[in-house]
Every structure is written in C-alpha cells, then in structure tokens.
Amino acid sequence: MAISVREMDVFRCVMQSGSVTNAAITLNISQPAVSRMLQQAEERLGFRLFEREKKRLKPTTEAQTLFAEVVNVFAAIEHTQRLAAELRDGQVGLLTLATVTGFGHTVVPQAVRRFRAERPNVSVVIQTLTGPEVVTRVAQGRADLGLTVGPIGDPSLESTILCTTKLGCVLPVGHRLAAKAALSAPDLADEPVICPGPHLSIGAAIVIAFAEANLRLRIAVEASQSNIACELVRAGAGIAILDGLGLLSARSNDLVTRPFAPSLQSVARLLKGTKRPASRLVEEFAGVVQRVTVESGL
C-alpha cells in the first residue's frame, strides 16, 4: 500500500533533521505523532525506514534510496504550488493578441512593455492581421484579444469601444497641399491616393466620400498597413488617407498630416471571445490597453 503525502513529509523531515524531536518541532506536532506516522509508513511500505543505534535513528539503505525520490516529489509539489499562485496572481502564462497594424505600431508596443514590466514571466504572441481576420481569430478562440477598427459584424464577440478617431491625410513636408488646413475629395482628385481597399471599412468610407463629391476614387496604391502607407508617402508615391491610429505613425519631421473633410470617423474596438471566460491575464492586459489608448491622446 502506498504511503500518504503526510507520511512522506514526516519521513522527509526526520531524514533532514536527524531526529524525531527535531522533526516534531519543524512540523509543529508531537513526538508521538511523528513516531506513529513513521510506523504507519513502514507498515504500508513493508520495510523498515530507520534502525535505532544508541538512541539515535539510522536510515536504512531502503530509506536512503526512497529519500531521494521523496525530495523530488516535494520539489514538484512546491513548484506546482508556486505556479498555481503565480497563475492566480497573473504572473505567468501566455497571451495571444490579434491586432490590425494601426494598433501594432502605436498602442500595442507601449501596452506590452507596461504589462510585462510587472509580469516578466508572461509571454505575449502578437498576430498582425486585417480587421476581418482579427474578428475571425477571436471568434474562433485562436486569439485571446483582438484590436480592430470599424464594424465587427459578429454578435458573438464582446466589443468595447477604445476610441473614435477622424480620418486624415498624410503628405510630405513641402507638398503644395500642405498649406491647406484640411483636404477634401476635390483636393485629392488629381493626386495619387494611398489608402485601404474598399473591402475594408475605412476604404469603403473613403469611396463613399468621393462619390458624394461626384468624384470617382482612383486608388494609386492600396495599402492597409499604416506604416507602409507612410513609407510610400515618404517615397513620393502619393498622399495617404489614414485613420487616427495610422496618423500616429506619421508623427515625424518629414511628414505632415491634415484633416480629411468632410469629417469621417473610425471606431477602434477591443474584442473578446465569449466561448470561454476570459482569464485574469486577458482582463488585466485589456485594462492596460485601455489606459494606454487614453494616454496616447486618440
């Protein structure tokens, strides 16, 4: 019959302390209780653990062999207890985040830095995707959280609005249109336009804005990633139309931004799945993202 964990603990303490008296003090129990549990352990095991020599306990060969394994058992138990405490306190684990590039170049780096500063043993996996792909990943449970812009079209997801931003234009310093306070569709009619495609919510809104001005939008370069759009502007490929997140990527000495008129808004959202309860890590990271978003001025 196998000995109990409590009996193993008593045996371990006797081996480490060298006597029943010291083991009893360590365990905060009586000496008779220690002796009784040792006897029970020996009966269960079917062999003696100690021999008495001149009123001292001498471990048997079997006891010395068993002790090495008992030490490993308690090391594993202590590790498991520490791990459970760390999981309870949100100190270890894996967090998977699906995000559009606008967040990936602005809010996400700061949020991850702040989050991991207090939880260095937490690993974060970042998946940079299009808006529809972010929605799909979170809905399928392949990402713990999602950051996207525009409508989500999936009622099964929990959606929190992080901010509402206005679309703007990015152009090189010295461009002739940089002198204007705002840019409209007619201003951009003869300019090569860089923007997301019409299959994405921002691109569709831009197409409608041009149509309402009786103009047909001709996209020179279709780019859904704001950092690439800004690099294209730097290279002289055209003027980019981006949402507020994308405009943060344009904050540099060689680019200028101007509001797009009439005002077009985009809604940035934090997504959670509802198939399973969110872990403590997920809830805490969501809170960090919300605070960083507010602090960014979006």
Level-2 CATH architecture, domain 92-163+268-295: 3-Layer(aba) Sandwich (3.40)
> 234-246: per-residue pLDDT in tens?
999 999 999 888 8
Cα distance between residue 104 and residue 172, in whole Å? 23
On the question of pLDDT at 98 being above 80, the answer is: yes
On the question of pLDDT at 86 being above 60, the answer is: no
pTM for this prediction: 0.65
12-21, 79-88, 217-226 — which is least confidently predicted?
79-88
Report the pLDDT value the prediction gives residue 88, as an integer from 0 to 100. 67
Cα distance between residue 249 and residue 254, in whole Å? 12
In this structure, the dihedral spanned by the alpha carbons of residues 177, 181, 185 and 191, taken in order and rounded to 10 degrees, is 10
Average of per-residue pLDDT across 97-124: 88
Q: Which CATH number fits domain 168-263: 3.30.420.130, 3.90.320.10, 3.40.190.10, 3.40.50.300?
A: 3.40.190.10
Give the whole-number percent of the chain exceeding pLDDT 90: 37
Most confidently modeled range among 72-81, 206-215, 249-258: 206-215
More confident residue, 101 or 298: 101
Is residue 255 within 8 A of residue 171, CB to CB? The reply is yes
CA-closest candidate to residue 165, choices 260, 91, 62: 260
Whether the upstream peptide bond of residue 277 has omega within 30° of 0, thus cis, is: no
Report the pLDDT value the prediction gives residue 51, as an integer from 0 to 100. 87
Report the pLDDT value the prediction gives residue 83, as an integer from 0 to 100. 63
Level-2 CATH architecture, domain 5-88: Orthogonal Bundle (1.10)
Average of per-residue pLDDT across 107-127: 90
> 164-180: per-residue pLDDT in tens?
989 999 999 989 999 99
Q: At 106, list the tokens.
A: 């602005």
Average of per-residue pLDDT across 45-49: 89
Sequence ranges of the domains in the chain: 5-88, 92-163+268-295, 168-263
On the question of pLDDT at 62 being above 80, the answer is: yes
> 123-150: per-residue pLDDT in tens?
898 988 888 889 998 998 888 899 998 8
| 201 confidence band (pLDDT: 50, 70, 90) | confident
